[in-house]
Each structure stands twice: as C-alpha cells, then as structure tokens.
Amino acid sequence: MTSATLHSDATRQQAEAWRRQTSLRRFYTALGVG
C-alpha cells in the first residue's frame, strides 16, 4: 500500500463524513431544531 493510496482513502472517508454531517444538519434545520 502506497502513501498515495492511504491519502486517497483518507480523503474519501473525510468527504463521506463531511457529506453525512452536512445532510444531517440540513435535516435538523428543516425540522426547525437547528
């Protein structure tokens, strides 16, 4: 496994986590909680 592969995998996980967090915040805002 190269460092580039590790970096790519980490970046993908970061993007997924960010997208999930953003969707959750938008969901709560729609409910009027946020």
Quick one: pLDDT at residue 5?
A: 86
Residue-wise pLDDT for 7-32, tens only, equals: 899 999 999 999 999 999 999 899 88
Q: What is the pTM of this model?
A: 0.56
Give the whole-angstrom CA distance, residue 4 versus residue 10.
10
Which amino acid is located at 27 in the chain? F
Q: Which pLDDT value is given to residue 34?
A: 56
Confidence of residue 6 (pLDDT cuts 50, 70, 90): confident
Q: Alpha-carbon distance 33 to 30, whole Å?
A: 8
Specify whether the CB–CB gap between 23 and 30 falls below 8 A. no
The answer to whether the beta carbons of residues 28 and 34 sit under 8 Å apart is: yes
